[in-house]
Amino acid sequence: MTRLSRPDLAKRIAADIPVGAYVNLGIGAPTLVADYLPEDRNITLHTENGMLGMGPAAEGDQIDPDLINAGKIPVTELPGAAYFHHADSFGMMRGGHLDVCVLGAFQVSVKGDLANWNTGAPDAIPAVGGAMDLAIGAKSVWVMMDLLTKQGESKLVEQCSYPLTGVGCVSRVYTDLAVFEVGAEGATVLESFGESMDELRRLTGIDLKG
Amino acid sequence: MTRLSRPDLAKRIAADIPVGAYVNLGIGAPTLVADYLPEDRNITLHTENGMLGMGPAAEGDQIDPDLINAGKIPVTELPGAAYFHHADSFGMMRGGHLDVCVLGAFQVSVKGDLANWNTGAPDAIPAVGGAMDLAIGAKSVWVMMDLLTKQGESKLVEQCSYPLTGVGCVSRVYTDLAVFEVGAEGATVLESFGESMDELRRLTGIDLKG
Amino acid sequence: MLSKISPSVSDALAGIADGATIMIGGFGLAGQPVELIDALLEQGATDLTVVSNNAGNGDHGLAALLAAGRVRKVICSFPRQSDSHVFDGLYRAGKIELELVPQGNLAERIRAAGAGIGGFFTPTGFGTTLAEGKETRTIDGRDYVLEHPIHADYALISAYRADQLGNLTYRKTSRNFGPVMASAARVTVAQVDRIVPVGSLDPESIITPGIFVTHVVETGDRPWIASGQFETEAEEAEA
Amino acid sequence: MLSKISPSVSDALAGIADGATIMIGGFGLAGQPVELIDALLEQGATDLTVVSNNAGNGDHGLAALLAAGRVRKVICSFPRQSDSHVFDGLYRAGKIELELVPQGNLAERIRAAGAGIGGFFTPTGFGTTLAEGKETRTIDGRDYVLEHPIHADYALISAYRADQLGNLTYRKTSRNFGPVMASAARVTVAQVDRIVPVGSLDPESIITPGIFVTHVVETGDRPWIASGQFETEAEEAEA
């Protein structure tokens, strides 16, 4: 199979983010997208713990414990940044002011349901953080994930078996094998990185549209 | 009848405001109370258009069109003042953070219902402003008014005939003839400025407690 | 760098269509976007719904827009003022619709629109004629009325300083409805006294982050600022 | 002038009773009121409900309070972290109650308490297990869950500067839950790096007005500030 590497997938996602967009990049792999946003595209990063205009991770002397991102990693501030409190920050998300939010996922359904906060394991200690807010927190919510688990099961599914984070909230799924559009109309392949439609249908077990 | 003058009534109300209180003084007569708040009592004035730490009315060179009170009168700023937007300002009121609010009234009922925004005249153009927010916007809502109309009708009533501003919100009524406590238990005379209990009962037509 | 600076008030308002809902900031003169209101009058859009604390004073600004028959409905808290004769006449003649909203509910409904809240229970107005027909509920012994968000197509607001990213600061009580209105409209236009370079506004003191602002127009120091009477300490330091 | 300055963290917390609900600010280390949490541990009140974004890290601070068996219930968004072994152990042993709330709903519920809102419809969590048993409603085609305010007896927060009136400013992303928690508690205690004279905080830049603050305790510049590494421009100007 032709698989895009994580950095290449991050690059692919970055290319789809519109000029001038306000963007929230979820914890984990989505953070990589930041490395591929050219400066001249004027993309502003939001971190839900209260900042617009977030810069790259802080290094050495730049590390300031009062300036962290949602993953609690020290970051930097770009010119034109602004700080606000948690209710204002999540109001900004909930109010649909962010253009794009990129999230990781355990599963996404063809209708755009998202499961990314809890594996449903009976002994798991639940922790949701901002996941459910991010799921409904942008004009476009995109998922970045491998299409298949290590066991070869599709993470794009007819119906999520894991506990949901949000209902019908995801519009696009970027995976290592292909890019999908999901929603009320079901799943459509927007771009394959090598696999045929039939092969993608076989791997996912879903009647994908082309 | 022994009537307290407006300034004397304002002085009387001012004396009851606790040290360190946060206070909103409604438009009109209640504004007079500000003139009788000694500096050493550390009372902070709120104006619902977005300010704590309001100073006296501005004069001459002090007049700044960007710095007005809720009555749209230019005012001044005291050291330690703070500005905030309308939703924050009314949240502060609604959330019960102000200690005292002093309002004018057309009528107050023995149960503490307030009518002060609309005479109910059929041709009146309705305008409510912040009246309903102020009515529920402090730990203690006090009314400052004449006890009787010019026609000699009591403005302290069993039940308001004018449209209500708020239900059961007033706790104390300062009038030119007496001070009353109102609420679920009915009306009690806290202090008379000269009239006997019987005379106050006769004037109001209410079975006042003494 | 992308810039939200618009060359003129008319450019900034070009997209307003007939039937639009327009929020207009300000409380009295403080925070009133005078130049934007005048530009809206010139722009020509009609059948408007205006959301604003007041419904116009005298014969200029919002009053002129009303007088020109361009406003179908006003959502406000305090339409009647000593000099609101234009609104008064239209209202008495049945030529304008009024939705009267207590001032704090107005601010909170606008805030709710910006913050994605579908409705909220407020104690303000409970038991009054302004809550007639509205859902009520007793929660923890207190009575509330259910109120819904007010969204707009455009918000026209006035601020003090902006940078080209649309970050805004305000001055004193002219802040009033600006920040919540900026968050509640599809397109927000801010007129500001001065546009300053990106990075010169303190990130701790930006009241409206640029994400809420679509167009910024510099309209120059207002007379009482231009006179130098009220120069702020920060600007003295800058000078 | 009345002063809200408390001579020590222990004085400021003296009134906390058993069974109290305590909000604790901070997101990770940023904005965490370290000295106040330590003082709460010493203070002795038990059977507490703690409202905080996290449920403690490592063995100090909130984790130590939990380990001492002083907390009956935690209301938070993210209890599980790499080093949340104290909470994890108590939770697995059934010795602590957890109310898990999505982070934005947590912030909004706290804000609602401070702003006198009786409840609000939020889209966050709709259709998930965290909305089970809660009232839902479709408004204008969108699905919402009804959420209620979270009030507290005490809020313990950390800020950057205070004056003796209790006005507060924050520093960068340490602002987080501080302003909303300050508004939602009967008593708010703020630890700050430095107390400055009344009038020296810019009235446009005060984030938490003193009306929301009961006690202020100066705890001194934190190490990364004391080192001089991050001196702000304003303070350079002041110096």
Query: Which of C121, C136, C146, C150 to mutate: most D Cβ within 10 Å?
Result: C121
Cβ within 8 Å of residue A111, ≥6 positions away: A168, A182, A183, A184, A186
How many angstroms separate the CA of residue B21 from the nearest CA in chain C?
22
How many angstroms separate the CA of residue D220 from the nearest CA in chain C?
21
Nearest-CB residue to D118 (from C115, C117, C123): C123
Q: What is the DSSP letter of D94?
A: T
**B131-160: average pLDDT:** 97
- Give chain C's domain count: 1
Instruction: Specify the pLDDT at position A120.
Output: 85
CA distance D131 to A135: 15
pLDDT band at C235 (very low <50, low <70, confident <90, very high): low
Instruction: Specify the pLDDT at position C232.
Output: 60
Count of B-C CB contacts under 8 Å? 152
**Contact between chains at B80 and D212 (C-beta distance less than 8 A):** no
Is residue D127 within 8 A of residue A164, CB to CB? The reply is yes
CA distance B12 to C95: 47
Closest CA to C192 of C164, C219, C231: C219
| Tokens linked to B190 | 């806290």
Nearest chain C residue (CA) to B164: C128
Nearest chain D residue (CA) to A116: D128
CA distance B24 to B30: 9
How many angstroms separate the CA of residue D151 from the nearest CA in chain A?
15
* CA distances, C26 to each of B30, C168, D44 (Å): 24, 15, 50
Is residue A141 within 8 A of residue A101, CB to CB? The reply is yes
Q: Kindly tell me if the per-residue pLDDT of C239 is higher than 70.
A: no
Considering the domain boundaries, does residue D138 fall inside one? no
**Contact between chains at C118 and D142 (C-beta distance less than 8 A):** yes
Q: Is A104 exposed, middle or buried (0-12, 13-18, 19+ CB in 10 A)?
A: middle
Q: Is the ipTM of this complex over 0.95?
A: yes
**Contact between chains at D125 and A132 (C-beta distance less than 8 A):** yes
Q: Roughly how many angstroms between the first and final C-alpha of chain A, as a whole number?
A: 19
Q: Is the dihedral of CA A195, A197, A201, A204 positive or negative?
A: positive
Task: Provide, as residue numbers in chain B, all residues whose Cβ is less than 8 Å from the Cβ of C102.
Answer: 128-133
* CA distances, C171 to each of B154, C26, D162, D234 (Å): 45, 12, 22, 19
Q: Is the dihedral of CA D205, D208, D213, D215 positive or negative?
A: negative
Exposed e or buried b for every residue in D206-226, given b needs 16+ CB within 10 A? Answer: bbbbbbbbbbbbbbeebeebe
pLDDT in tens, C138-181: 999 999 999 999 999 999 999 999 999 999 999 999 999 999 99
pTM equals 0.98
How many angstroms separate the CA of residue D40 from the nearest CA in chain A?
23
**Contact between chains at D165 and B80 (C-beta distance less than 8 A):** yes
Mean pLDDT of chain C: 95
Instruction: Specify the pLDDT at position C234.
Output: 52
**Contact between chains at D124 and A136 (C-beta distance less than 8 A):** yes
CA distance C188 to C211: 10
pLDDT per residue of chain D (239 residues) written in tens, 0 to 9 = 789 999 999 999 999 999 999 999 999 889 999 999 999 999 999 999 999 999 999 999 999 999 999 999 999 999 988 889 999 999 999 999 999 999 999 999 999 999 999 999 999 999 999 999 999 999 999 999 999 999 999 999 999 999 999 999 999 999 999 999 999 999 999 999 999 999 999 999 999 999 999 999 999 999 999 988 886 645 544 44
pLDDT in tens, D103-138: 999 999 999 999 999 999 999 999 999 999 999 999
Closest CA to B165 of B126, B128, B139: B128
3-class secondary-structure state, position B58: coil
Q: Kindly tell me if the per-residue pLDDT of C227 is higher than 50.
A: yes
Considering the domain boundaries, does residue D59 fall inside one? yes
Is residue B181 annotated as part of the catalytic site, yes or no?
A: no
For helices A86-94 and D103-115, the axis angle rounded to 10 degrees is: 120
Query: Which of D66, D173, D221 to mutate: most A Cβ within 10 Å?
Result: D173
Task: Provide, as residue numbers in chain B, all residues whose Cβ is less than 8 Å from the Cβ of D210.
Answer: 44, 52, 80, 82
pLDDT in tens, C58-113: 999 999 999 999 999 999 999 988 889 999 999 999 999 999 999 999 999 999 99
CA distance D82 to D93: 19
How many angstroms separate the CA of residue D75 from the nearest CA in chain A?
11
Count of beta carbons in the 10 Å neighbourhood of residue C206: 25
How many angstroms separate the CA of residue D196 from the nearest CA in chain B?
11
Is residue A112 within 8 A of residue A170, CB to CB? The reply is yes
Task: Provide, as residue numbers in chain B, all residues whose Cβ is less than 8 Å from the Cβ of D163.
Answer: 80
Instruction: Specify the pLDDT at position A119.
Output: 87
Query: Which of D126, D180, D204, D238 to mutate: most C Cβ within 10 Å?
Result: D204
Instruction: Specify the pLDDT at position A2.
Output: 84
In the block, residue with structure tokens 């009234």 = B105
Considering the domain delimited by A6-204, tell me its CATH architecture. 3-Layer(aba) Sandwich (3.40)
Q: What are the residue ranges in chain A where pLDDT is below 50?
A: none
Q: Do chains C and B touch (3 or more CB pairs under 8 A)?
A: yes
Query: Which of D172, D222, D231 to mutate: most A Cβ within 10 Å?
Result: D172
**Which of B39, B48, B195, B199 is the catalytic position?**
B48
Q: Do chains B and A touch (3 or more CB pairs under 8 A)?
A: no
Q: What share of chain D is helix, strand, coil (3-state, %, to 5)?
A: 30, 30, 45
Is residue A101 within 8 A of residue A140, CB to CB? The reply is yes
**Contact between chains at B95 and D2 (C-beta distance less than 8 A):** no
Q: Up-side HSE of residue C92: CA atoms within 13 Å toward CB?
A: 11
**Contact between chains at C121 and D118 (C-beta distance less than 8 A):** yes
**Contact between chains at C123 and D122 (C-beta distance less than 8 A):** no
CATH of the domain at D21: 3.40.1080.10
- D123 vs C: CB within 8 A: yes
Instruction: Specify the pLDDT at position D195.
Output: 98
Structural domain boundaries of chain B?
A: 6-204
Nearest-CB residue to B163 (from C79, C111, C129): C129
pLDDT in tens, B76-123: 999 999 999 999 999 999 999 999 999 999 999 999 999 999 988 888
Q: What is the DSSP letter of A147?
A: S
Nearest chain D residue (CA) to B98: D211
Q: With a CB-CB cutoff of 8 Å, which residues 138-177 of chain B face chain D?
A: none
What amino acid is encoded at C73 in this protein?
A: K
CA distance C34 to C111: 23
- C121 vs D: CB within 8 A: yes
Nearest-CB residue to B22 (from D117, D167, D211): D211
Cβ within 8 Å of residue A118, ≥6 positions away: A124, A126, A128, A162, A163, D129
| Tokens linked to D224 | 């990364």
Tell how far CA C16 is from the center of its chain. 15
Find chains touching chain A: ≥3 CB pairs under 8 Å: C, D
pLDDT band at B156 (very low <50, low <70, confident <90, very high): very high
Q: Whole domain around residue C40: which residue ranges?
A: 9-118+149-238
